[in-house]
Structure 1
Amino acid sequence: MSSPESPDGPVAAGSTAVAAVPAEAAGPAAVGRAVDRVDAPVKVTGQARYAAEFPYVGQAYAAFTYATVTRGRITAIDTAATSALPGVVAVITHLDAPRMKPSPKPNPLRSMESMATATSVDYLNTSEVHWNGQPVAVVVAEDVETARHGAESVSVTYEVLPHSVDFAAEEHNAVPQKSSIIQHASGSKGDADAALADAPVSVDLRFTTPRHHHNALEPHATTAVWDGDRLTVHDGTQNIHWLRSQLATKFDVPLGDVRVVSPFVGGGFGGKSMVWPGTILTVLAARVTGRPVRAALTREGVYRSVGGRQPSVQRVAIGAERDGGMTALIHTSTAPMGKVGGMPEQITTVARHMYGAGNIRHQQRTLGLDTHSTTNMRAPGESIGSYAMEAAVDELAYALRMDPVELRLRNEPSRNPIDGKPFAHRQLRECFVNGSSLFGWSARSFEPRSVREGRSLIGWGTAAAYHPAWQLPANVTVRLDAAGQALVRCAFHEMGMGTATAQGQIAADALGVPFDAVTVEYGDSELPTGPGAGGSAQTASVASSLLEACEKLKKSIGTPREGESYAQLLARTGRDHAEAAVGSETRVGKTVGQVKFTAKYLKDQRRWMKAACGAHFCEVRVDADTGEARVTRWVAVFDVGRVINAKTAASQLRGGVVMGIGQALTEQTLLDPRTGRIMNPSLSEYHVPVHADVPRIDVSWLDDPDPTMPLGLLGIGEVGITGVAGAIANALHHATGRRLYDLPLTLEKLL
């Protein structure tokens, strides 16, 4: 096997991320402090290696040819010109690609790893094309430029087959979505339709949201190396274990012979949680050529071959008494899915939890289109569902001539509205009260278009934030030596959110050692199996197992004397170290772990409603002549349970708001309804927020622990985006008097 190169010579194959805590962070009570990220020095100095930065001796480079038809069959493929290019090592097509096993069908009850299957397509093992952008050839060359030029020179002839990609034209073919163990696609309480018809005051609105793509700073990239039947893969993945399992299945090798190394991920937002064709075909190219192969997708390549968020049409209808008490709440959605795979978003589940209406009905409908897969995108479902819900609540407030905050507080439930389960933790009322004070909401005029400064129309808007809390299985080992140094090992992920820092803080307090005495190893499948970084679940999942491992460790050491530390007890009793583990890496152990996880998940689902929540307040200014809208002020208060690291928590919550600003004002993936081809596959045409678009964002939290969660913490990564688009839509209405129902809320719609 080739070994990676470094400026100083070969280094070990793959590098487990090791986060040693800086000395200045030492001190008592690490949890809750604003500690700098332990991986910051290697990132800002360029020492951190991402998936496309592991050089191997003899390394080649791969690029992909993407289909230019939506549905079809390849009738001819000419690679002669490509093969003749100097520097081309191999051209792989469906005519000569080795057979791979099909990816497993997603089934969370049978195998959580199956949820990483992005599509059902047998890449390069079929002549069929299922979406415009499907990879149909791989070119391997000695350098990146030759590989990309070669991929563009492959000539493909297709038999074009009928296809359907126009959501608006196909919407009427949608069917009710079935509920599953992980998603409530429908639900009801009472007779919401009758209550709506009888309500003295009501609104009945239609909203639409567009397609979206993630646009992480680091595009998808893979470096693959075979050593016989042993495989090492460097990949920017959000789920090391799922990727490892998928590759073992796909290439028919034992799980233990696959190593996935992912010490740093340059952003994911859900887009790197599944296994996309670029990763699979890079591994295939390495096997075919017998050389290490790297493929780094271009920005356009990400749009062509990686899934995103599909569009939606939503109806929100609310009936209320004249005092504002909601009597009916109806939330329905229709959203397409790629026919080749993906998961539907939980768009209408916000209706189950947000407002104490007497009668509730929600229902999701889906249909299949010949487009890319639907995949997770920050707060999947809740981010776009909360937009429609919060805008409709604002509309109802105007129909009632009631302050929007007062209306929300009037309908704040004491238990989960649809099924009466107790909330494990919910202080949304306190979030609105605190946020109103911090923002100065009491000074808000009620009438739309009533505040103006020069050419600027000024509006204030508010909305609620909500995201469920999750826990996933996590295996962890903890080691403490007689010198007082602690080592935590778990194959979790670092995407910039400060996971290693937070887990180091937790371990320091649990073991009674300074923060700078803790080292955390992560990002490598050779470590104990960690959870995926998704659903805002990683911190709580690892923390639960880490705390359990620390307790086991301390119990194995014994009871220290008064004033004695566990490390000192080790030294006094002549032991070098003690170690404890939670979870098992054996086949039987993993099966037992899956059973325990499922049982706990189902028990929690029956017993509690667990979620993070919050309140957004924003100011917008709209140019009365041009319609240009700017967000100029933001205040948000969250109930996210206990905060482990004040600095990284604030960063995560602000990041969610920034992504929500893009969702509200600029972001949309444009699909040609005739050809199914994405028309704006670049950051020059798909507009994400830049510094000039983002105001100062003041975030705070109540820091009150949830008693049902490890250390009382709830997820932070995704709740920040929920409600953001709704708050901006409401502020724009207050500024201009125009109510917009279709994202993004662009200037031509305001005019």
Structure 2
Amino acid sequence: MRFDAPAGESLVDRQAVVGRPHPRIEGPLKVTGTAPYAAEHDDLGDDLAYAYVLGAAIAKGRISRIDTAEAERAPGVLAVVTHKTTGPLGVGKFYVQKMIAAPDVEHYHQPVAVVVAESFEQARAAAGLISVDYDRTGGSFDLEAAKGVARIPVEEEFGGPTETRVGDFSAAFAAAPVKIDQTYVTPDQAHAMMEPHASIARWDGDRLFCWTSIQQMNWGLRDLGLILGVPKENIRLSSPYVGGGFGGKGTVQIDLALAAVAARAARRPVKLVLQRPIMFNATIHRPRTLQRIRLGAQADGRLTAIGHDSWSGNLAGGRTEPTTLPTALLYRGENRRLRRYLAVLDLTEGQAMRAPGEAPGLMAFEIAMDELAEKVGLDPVELRIRNDTQVDPARPDRPFSSRPFVECLRVGAEAFAWTDRPTSPATRQDGRWLVGYGMASAIRGAPINKAGARVRLQHDGVLTVETDMTDIGTGSYTIVAQTAAEMMGTPLDQVKVRLADSNFPETPGSGGQAGAASVTAGVYAACHKLREAVARELGFNTPDLVFADGEVRSSGRSAKLGDAARNGDLVVEDSMAYGDLKDRYAQQTFGAHFAEVGVDRYTGVIRVRRMLAVCAAGRILNPVTARSQVIGGMTMGIGAALMEEMVLDKRFGLFINHDLAGYEVPVHADIPHLDVMFVDEVDATMSPVKAKGVGELGLTGVAPAIANAVYNATGVRVRDYPLTLDKHIHRLPAIA
């Protein structure tokens, strides 16, 4: 099926199942511990071997000698893999870091060896017997130090233009009666998902099967084939349950690639689960940024000049952190200059982490907007309303497909009682607490990509949907089932869903906030084709055909849906492909975040008291799972604002707090009650389902809303995340 024009009335518009709150259909498996994650497939018995990765002890240099003899003689050891035994390994298309030091070391904890043994304990013990000598060389680890030699790379496939010029920014900024010119810092961050990177690999001749924890099956096939030099047709991946990813499991990481290499060397199925400390320095992370924001405005707050210069670092060949993405589209402004600089750093690869670009970009931009509001004497909500735009500022001929941004602001302000906000900083107390309110805007792209599905109808009326879409805790199983049930007029409990097998029809998987919109459109296409097949089998040829209550009805005649499969299962497959609507319209999701914080006037400790997110993300397919996604994003945003930071040892080039004891993430005690509201909208330019993604929108804007609230509470502006107490305690007002 092809989607070339905005949708009119759609088969899902009645919302008998889609749009209704339903609990996750796979929920009972998860809460009972019976949903098998990547490392939990135990049907290989005693044939399964275990692998352990030894990471490099330096950040930059070369292996001059590696001695594995003692390890190879250790009890239970089946194989020891190094660059000498693997042969050349390729590099995938999306990530640039190499799977093993060969023999050059490009970052700390880059794998130098993999030990395979009969047990995990034997593999770990033997890894300690490997002797490695290095020729250490000087590395570049400090973004501030490398800033002067950073360059603006060419336009990036996944981050858009690295430089944008509209109008005459320099002249407009110089002439503006009101100016903001500040620099903001966001730190290196880890995905820190609950389930570690894990894979089980098994070879059958020249064919490879892997259970793994990955978000995008099609990228996984492509990249694993490129790394191993194996045709992707010879590879099959299965990832039915993923215990969190946040972009960190987008495609092939060292667990999958090295499990496959180790299984080939040991001639046994091999399980490889990355130990938590190695994940921080040997897999991808969100990189540190330095962001200079310049805003020029009229006295009434209307923006005339927007400048955003951003610096981030990466391995050679890597990409920038695309922080300018939200700046390009969020507000009006006739003159703008946006530039992203990239420095080469010898740290593990900087890559996608939930809402790459928008999340760290808004952490800077939305504080700058708060500073501008104060300078012109406007309420922060009103400032944003005055600078709304209904067209892409760089392309006035390109309207937004839908943009209820102002509605989000107004609905949120009323629901949060924003008018009760202290209008002057450091003026409200509650016992020992200084109390403040803050808000920030939210924006995230709404991509949608070709996706397919296979639908099987049985004689008993049961539908089975198969697609390679993944579920990383987002509710994919449930929204796929809801879409099929809606299209075929059958109860939800009559739909079975099978996901995340690379033998199933291809989707873009879970990433970039594209998954939900894409896969449900693919299921729509397949079910539309199945409806036509059912009508033929049952002899219906009238246009008034109705699928409802497990029946097919037309002109006074009805039949059970399952009767169409009386001669055998009815199986169809189709996909939804797209024309140029994404070029003709700016397709985005929008929102607003509101926060109340308390700052202990004696210790400087910050506590979030309450938060509200108002989101506009097309048709909400399931309010329960969508709300859960937004709350997850808000929780992650609280972490980004107040505690998350990978601390870099600039002498030796490693992140030293590389575990869940040293890398702090929010726990229950840090999170108050979080409220979520959805603005009622559909976007007919997306697909016949008219849905968008929402999971990353829930994060963007959270951290600056908290930062702005902290300023409102204390009068101390902190522009360096996370907002730990040491950054403001010495500047708290006399009242504290």
What TM-score does the superposition give when structure 1 sets the normalisation length? 0.90
Q: Give the corresponding residue for 2:70.
A: 81
Amino acid at match of 1:716: V
Structure 2 contact 99–257 (Cα < 8 Å) conserved: no
Q: Say if 2:728 is the partner of 1:750.
A: yes
Alignment of 1:92-241 (within 5 A): 92-95=81-84, 97-104=85-92, 114-115=93-94, 117-119=95-97, 121=98, 123=100, 126-182=102-158, 183-241=160-218
SS of residue in 1 equivalent to 2:183: strand
Q: Say if 2:65 is the partner of 1:45.
A: no
Q: Say if 2:656 is the partner of 1:682.
A: no
Q: Which moved more, 1:510-519 or 1:243-252?
A: 243-252
Q: After TM superposition, give the deviation of residue 181 of structure 1 in Å.
A: 4.3
What is the aligned counterpart of 1:579 among 563, 567, 571? Answer: 571
Distance 1:220 1:574, change over 3 A: closer
Distance 1:572 1:464, change over 3 A: closer
What is the aligned counterpart of 1:347 among 323, 334, 342? Answer: 323
Q: Give the corresponding residue for 2:54.
A: 65
Structure 1 contact 490–528 (Cα < 8 Å) conserved: yes
Amino acid at match of 2:75: P
The whole-number CA distance in structure 1 between the counterparts of 2:163 and 2:365 is 16
Q: Which moved more, 1:64-73 or 1:253-262?
A: 253-262
Q: Give the corresponding residue for 1:4.
A: none
The whole-number CA distance in structure 1 between the counterparts of 2:70 and 2:228 is 30
Deviation sequence 1:581-615 (CA, Å, 0-9, x none): 115xxxxxxxxx9xx66xx3xx2343010011101
Structure 2 contact 459–565 (Cα < 8 Å) conserved: no
Q: Where does the alignment leave 5 or more consecutive residues of structure 1 unmatched?
A: 1-26, 105-113, 584-592
Q: Give the corresponding residue for 1:22.
A: none
Q: After TM superposition, give the deviation of residue 560 of structure 1 in Å.
A: 6.6
Q: Say if 2:710 is the partner of 1:712.
A: no
Q: Give the corresponding residue for 1:733.
A: 711
The whole-number CA distance in structure 2 between the counterparts of 1:176 and 1:256 is 38
Q: Give the corresponding residue for 2:560.
A: 568
Q: Say if 2:668 is the partner of 1:691.
A: yes
Structure 2 contact 448–514 (Cα < 8 Å) conserved: yes
SS of residue in 1 equivalent to 2:722: coil
Amino acid at match of 2:574: V
What is the aligned counterpart of 2:429 among 452, 462, 466? Answer: 452
Alignment of 1:463-502 (within 5 A): 463-502=440-479
Amino acid at match of 2:302: G
Q: After TM superposition, give the deviation of residue 252 of structure 1 in Å.
A: 3.4
Q: Give the corresponding residue for 2:17.
A: 30
Q: After TM superposition, give the deviation of residue 417 of structure 1 in Å.
A: 1.7
Q: After TM superposition, give the deviation of residue 285 of structure 1 in Å.
A: 0.8
Q: After TM superposition, give the deviation of residue 226 of structure 1 in Å.
A: 1.1
Structure 1 contact 460–619 (Cα < 8 Å) conserved: yes
Structure 1 contact 66–304 (Cα < 8 Å) conserved: no
Q: Give the corresponding residue for 1:385.
A: 361
What is the aligned counterpart of 2:492 among 515, 519, 532? Answer: 515
Q: Say if 2:306 is the partner of 1:329.
A: yes
The whole-number CA distance in structure 1 between the counterparts of 2:635 and 2:256 is 29
The whole-number CA distance in structure 1 between the counterparts of 2:491 and 2:340 is 50
What is the aligned counterpart of 1:309 among 282, 286, 292? Answer: 286
Structure 1 contact 613–638 (Cα < 8 Å) conserved: yes
Structure 2 contact 468–509 (Cα < 8 Å) conserved: no
Q: Give the corresponding residue for 2:534.
A: 557
Q: Give the corresponding residue for 2:383.
A: 407
Q: CA RMSD in A?
A: 1.8
The whole-number CA distance in structure 2 between the counterparts of 1:399 and 1:477 is 57
Q: Give the corresponding residue for 1:428.
A: 405
Structure 1 contact 570–576 (Cα < 8 Å) conserved: no
What is the aligned counterpart of 1:283 among 260, 272, 276? Answer: 260
The whole-number CA distance in structure 2 between the counterparts of 1:436 and 1:430 is 10
Q: After TM superposition, give the deviation of residue 483 of structure 1 in Å.
A: 3.1
SS of residue in 2 equivalent to 1:175: coil
Q: After TM superposition, give the deviation of residue 98 of structure 1 in Å.
A: 3.1
Deviation sequence 1:521-574 (CA, Å, 0-9, x none): 112112222322100111111111211121122123323777773463662796
Amino acid at match of 1:275: V
Q: After TM superposition, give the deviation of residue 118 of structure 1 in Å.
A: 4.2
Q: Give the corresponding residue for 1:256.
A: 233
Distance 1:573 1:75, change over 3 A: closer
Q: After TM superposition, give the deviation of residue 231 of structure 1 in Å.
A: 1.1
The whole-number CA distance in structure 2 between the counterparts of 1:122 and 1:658 is 32
The whole-number CA distance in structure 1 between the counterparts of 2:308 and 2:325 is 9
Structure 2 contact 416–594 (Cα < 8 Å) conserved: yes
What is the aligned counterpart of 1:54 among 41, 44, 51? Answer: 41
Deviation sequence 1:188-215 (CA, Å, 0-9, x none): 2211221111111111110011101100
The whole-number CA distance in structure 1 between the counterparts of 2:49 and 2:132 is 24
Distance 1:573 1:315, change over 3 A: closer
Q: After TM superposition, give the deviation of residue 680 of structure 1 in Å.
A: 0.6
The whole-number CA distance in structure 1 between the counterparts of 2:204 and 2:567 is 39
Deviation sequence 1:225-274 (CA, Å, 0-9, x none): 11111211111001122212222333333333211111100000000013
The whole-number CA distance in structure 1 between the counterparts of 2:99 and 2:111 is 11
Q: Say if 2:641 is the partner of 1:638.
A: no
Amino acid at match of 2:717: R
Structure 2 contact 635–666 (Cα < 8 Å) conserved: yes
Deviation sequence 1:709-750 (CA, Å, 0-9, x none): 121111111011101111011001000001111111100001
Amino acid at match of 1:732: V
Q: Give the corresponding residue for 1:442.
A: 419
Amino acid at match of 1:494: D
Structure 2 contact 310–323 (Cα < 8 Å) conserved: yes
SS of residue in 2 equivalent to 1:287: helix
SS of residue in 2 equivalent to 1:176: coil
Amino acid at match of 1:530: T
What TM-score does the superposition give when structure 2 sets the normalisation length? 0.92
Percent identical: 39
Amino acid at match of 1:286: A
Structure 1 contact 261–525 (Cα < 8 Å) conserved: yes
Q: Which moved more, 1:675-684 or 1:649-658?
A: 675-684
Amino acid at match of 1:298: Q
Distance 1:746 1:570, change over 3 A: closer
Amino acid at match of 1:740: V
Q: After TM superposition, give the deviation of residue 489 of structure 1 in Å.
A: 0.9
Q: Give the corresponding residue for 2:600.
A: 623
Q: Where does the alignment leave 5 or more consecutive residues of structure 2 unmatched?
A: 1-13, 553-558, 730-736
SS of residue in 1 equivalent to 2:424: coil
Structure 2 contact 20–621 (Cα < 8 Å) conserved: yes
Q: Say if 2:728 is the partner of 1:721.
A: no
SS of residue in 2 equivalent to 1:712: coil
